[in-house]
Structure formats: structure tokens, C-alpha cells
A = this chain, B = another copy of it.
């Protein structure tokens, strides 16, 4: 028996990512996002929805670049810190102990501790009612050897990613 619910952002699972932005030497920030997805295959592109009030929105708008860092489930504490404080008033790298390291093609830093990092360059910004949607090309990809299988693909049992649904954190696992 189906129930009708209030229209809400109920799509699941959606990814839980730490987006780093700014520059390695200058102002930089990390923001936790779940409004993220793949939008195009050739070239590979992602879209991320960011509220205009966010400090990261300001940094990404200035630089046109960001990095999507994909955490493991055991990094949930850092995910929660980066999702509940503002980079305007606190240094989230210091607050979480995460390490900013140089990217290859963009000025925004990679987060060393996250097993996968996608360097992204903004191509287009679509203004939506509550969020701006940054559409960006993935220009470089880094993956830790410890999360890859023998064929060089991400192994979910090793990468152990988080997923988000309707206010709850979930985890992903191999399909049995």
C-alpha cells in the first residue's frame, strides 16, 4: 500500500562528498555536499548544488574550480564537521585534521585522506531557486591503491562510501 508524502528531496542514494575549494596557499575551505551527481559522460562532468550564502559558493565562483573528495564511512566525523560549521569563521582543515595537498590541474587543494579525488573545472552555473548548480568537467582523477580491485576499479568493500537519504547517512557495500 502506497502512501503519498509531501514533495521532498527523496531521491536515494545520493553521494556524500567533501568539496574542497579556494587555493592551497590562500583562503580555502571544505564543504559537505549530497546534492551532487554525474551529468554528462563525454567529457566526464559532475553537477554540484551549493547555496549562494555558503562560503564555498564564494570561493568556487571566484576560482571556477573545486575538488570532489569522496570519503570513507569511517570519516563520518569530518563529514559532519564540514557540514555543520562555516569556513568563514573556522578553518575546517584544522578543525578536522584533514590535509590539503596540491592538485594536478586545478588550484583548489585535494584532501589527502580521502581515497578518491576528482579535480573539477566549472563550465556553467545554473541559478535555481535555492541553490546554484555548478556544472563542471572532471579534469583529473586520483585514487588510492588501497581502494582499487585487481582490475583497477573502485572496490566498494574497500572504498566503503557513505550515501545520503532524506537526512540519514547510509553506507554502500558489494551487491551479494
Closest B residue to A144 using CB positions:
B2
Chain A at the B interface: SS class: strand
Q: Determine which of B37, B129, B137, B167 lies in contact with A11 in the assembled complex, contact meaning CB atoms within 8 Å.
A: B37
CA distance A94 to B165 in the complex (A): 31
Name A167's contact: one of B145, B153, B166, B173 (CB within 8 Å): B153
| Size bracket of the A interface | 35 or more
Q: Given A163-B163, A170-B156, are A11 and B3 also a contact pair (CB < 8 Å)?
A: no
- Check A81 for interface membership: any CB of B closer than 8 A: no
- Interface segment among A22-30, A44-52, A56-64: the answer is A44-52
Minimum CB–CB distance from A162 to chain B (whole Å) comes to: 7
**Protomer copies:** 2
- A93 beta carbon closer than 8 Å to chain B: no
Say yes or no: is A150 at the interface (Cβ < 8 Å to chain B): no
Nearest first, the 7 closest Cβ-Cβ pairs linking A and B are A37-B37, A40-B128, A42-B130, A5-B141, A9-B44, A2-B142, A9-B38
The residue of chain B having its C-beta at the shortest distance from the C-beta of A115 within the complex is B2
A139 interfacial by beta-carbon distance below 8 Å: yes
- Residues of A145-176 at the interface with B, using a CB-CB cut-off of 8 Å, are 145, 148, 152-154, 156, 159, 161-163, 165-176
Chain B residues contacting A170 (CB-CB under 8 Å) are 156, 172-175
Question: Would you call A84 an interface residue if the criterion is a C-beta within 8 Å of the partner chain's C-beta atoms?
Answer: no
* A10 at the binding interface (Cβ < 8 Å): yes
Specify which of B104, B128, B144 is in contact with A39 (CB 8 Å cutoff): B128
